[in-house]
Amino acid sequence: MSRFLSSSSRRAFTLIELLVVIGVITTLLAIMLPSLSAVRREAESAACASQLRQLFVGLESYRRLTRDLIPICDFLPAATPAGPVGGLPALLDGFIDIDCKCWRCPADMDEDESLSTGTSYFYVPGLLRYSPQIQMQAAQLAFLLSQDATMSARLRERRRVEAEGKLVTSFYISNPRAFALITDSQDRHKIGDRVPRNGVYLDGSVRAVEIEPDVAQD
């Protein structure tokens, strides 16, 4: 019996040995967690890029029906008590399901802000349409259309939006790498000391956004 107890005590951990093991595990976790966090961020960014490509395919399908014009709609859907209204998800419904998970960035956890609009993504042409250079030309066209008494208000509005689409499309064609079409609505993808947004461009490429969308309003 004494030999059994002696053997058991030799096999058991002492308190010091247990503390050493806990310390080693804690140290390993401290080393591994930042790496695991970086891997998770990279995976979220890659998934976001894949979703932006999917949205681009839907946008290009829509453009083929409108003589390659970049469609015009609000840059974000409106968040209402009944749910999101308008914006790119509504415009592309039929090409991309409005409830498709591709509208939500995997890194987006903001239920009160971006997710309340039904999408994590910002439609840049919906903002560029309000730039002074485009609105001045659109206003001139709207004035000319208003002189035609035979044209209904609905048709005048449609013509004005078509004109904005032509102007925005011309802007993008002349600046194909300056502005993204669709971007994260917030800075979510940390890379070193930077937290850029992902964006998909007119040529279908996806990369970190270098120029903020509101530059066009300066």
- Asked whether the beta carbons of 73 and 126 are under 8 A apart, the reply is yes
Local confidence band at 55 (pLDDT 50, 70, 90 cut-offs): very high
Which residue has better confidence, 43 or 55?
A: 55
Token reading at 191: 């890379």
Q: Is the pLDDT of residue 56 over 80?
A: yes
Two tokens, residue 36 = 């695991």
pLDDT for position 4? 47
Q: Which pLDDT does position 216 carry in this prediction?
A: 44
| b/e 88-102 (16+ beta carbons within 10 angstroms → b) | bbebbeeebebebeb
Residue 35: domain span: 2-217
What does the DSSP assignment read for 85-134? ESHHHHHTTTTS-TT-GGGS-TT---TTTGGGGT-SEEETHHHHTTSHHH
Number of domains making up the chain: 1
Interval 152-168 mean pLDDT: 81
Whole-prediction pTM: 0.75
Which of 38-52, 81-95, 112-126, 127-141 has the lowest average pLDDT? Answer: 127-141
Mean pLDDT of 117-140: 86
Mean of per-residue pLDDT scores for the chain: 82
pLDDT at 215: 43
At 217 the pLDDT is: 43
Lowest mean pLDDT of 111-115, 138-142, 171-175, name the range. 138-142
Q: Which value, in Å, is the radius of gyration of the alpha carbons in the chain? A: 27
Alpha helices in the chain (DSSP H): 2-11, 15-64, 87-91, 125-128, 132-146, 153-174
- 71 DSSP 8-state letter: P
Higher pLDDT, 217 or 141: 141
Q: Give 61-66 contacts, CB < 8 A, sequence gap 24+.
A: 61/95, 62/91, 62/92, 62/95, 66/165
Q: What's the pLDDT score for residue 145?
A: 63
Confidence check: pLDDT of 32 > 80: no
